Amino acid sequence: MSHQCSCIAGGTFLQCCGKEIADWDAYRFLLCLGNEASRPFHGRWARHRDLVKRLVDQAAGGIRWERCLVLGAGNCNDIPLDHLADAFTEVTLFDLDESALAAAAARLSPRQRAGLRLLAGDLTGLHASGTAEAIARLARRGRWPELVQYLGKLRKKIRSLPPPELDHGYDLVVSVCVATQLFVPFIRAVAADSPLWDRIHAHAADISRALSNRLGEHMHRSVEPEGAVAFATDILEWNAARLGLAGRVAPLALDSEAIDPAAVDELLRGHSHLKNVGAVPENLAGLFTPVHAVDWIWAFSDWKQYVVRGFVLHPR
């Protein structure tokens, strides 16, 4: 299995854009590369962003509109940042990619930027702990059996990774299509051409689910007890390469605002190959009272689309 570098020039990440990047910076650089590639999509994602805005407004009903935190903000192409900046006294954007945060802030007016706080940090702990560096080093040198062993041990150590330095007491926490991006894109980028990919992928799925649960914990710790979380996640993907296997999914794109949840559930049952690992943290119901708010289609690009499921979460 090959996984083309996100610049789409050809070759895998470590053969292409990541060839000269130090192992210690591979994880952050790959994230930055993805943000840079999607930066021109702000206009394309307007409808998706408007549906996120509706979810935000539903979550924010009945809470104080003072402090808001956006986890994994990136470029904020899928975040109604101007709306948040107008509504909240303080908005904190948290992401490992400082350049993406700066690009997001640049779209705001001076008045809107007055309450904006840009906070660079590692949501997963993979970068800060050197874990991602070790993975990149083993993959770059083709030490696949060692990588399989390393990933097998990593699954049991996720909770010991350094947590992000986040404040508490936010009235609203927002997380949009972040849960599935914490590990799978990175491991695919560095190891999808491995002859041991099936074993690597099995460990990666477990690690992704563990990191997704960790995200749930971060959201719970950050939000005010009387606050709320607007949580949107890409639960299902199909793209040009998978289209032949997903013929029954494509008609959903005709109505991106009112997808029948029962139809989505049926797709999830019948198209397991399309599911995004870790999309919904398994600990969500234990940490929050989740309200399934809405499902919609996110037209990511001309060749890739996602079914997004939105939740309003109230901390227990």
Domain annotation covers residue 2: no
Could you tell me the CATH number of the domain that includes residue 207? Answer: 3.40.50.150
CA of 39: how far to CAs of 33, 75, 99, 138, 230, in Å? 10, 6, 11, 31, 23
281 located within any domain: yes
The strand pair at 223-239 and 304-315 is best described as antiparallel
Q: 166 is written with which tokens?
A: 């986040």
- Give pTM, 2 decimals: 0.92
Q: Which residues pair with 69 in a beta bridge?
A: 92, 173
Q: Is residue 235 part of a domain?
A: yes
Full residue range of the structural domain in which residue 220 is found: 14-315
Kindly give the confidence (pLDDT) of every residue in the chain, 316 residues in length, as a single tens digit, with 9 standing for 90 and above: 345 566 544 557 876 777 778 999 999 999 998 999 899 999 999 999 999 999 999 999 989 999 999 999 999 999 999 999 999 999 999 999 999 999 999 999 999 999 999 999 999 999 999 999 999 999 999 999 999 999 999 999 999 999 999 999 999 999 999 999 999 999 999 998 899 999 999 999 999 999 999 999 999 999 999 999 999 999 988 765 554 444 445 545 444 555 777 877 877 777 777 789 999 999 999 999 999 888 998 988 877 888 899 999 999 9
- Helix (H) or strand (E) holding 202, with range, is helix 197-222
Task: Tally the residues of the chain.
Answer: 316
Residue 7 lies in a domain: no
SS3 assignment, position 44:
coil
Residue 91 lies in a domain: yes
Domain count across the chain: 1
Structure tokens at 11: 């070759």
Contact (Cβ atoms closer than 8 angstroms) between residue 154 and residue 206: no
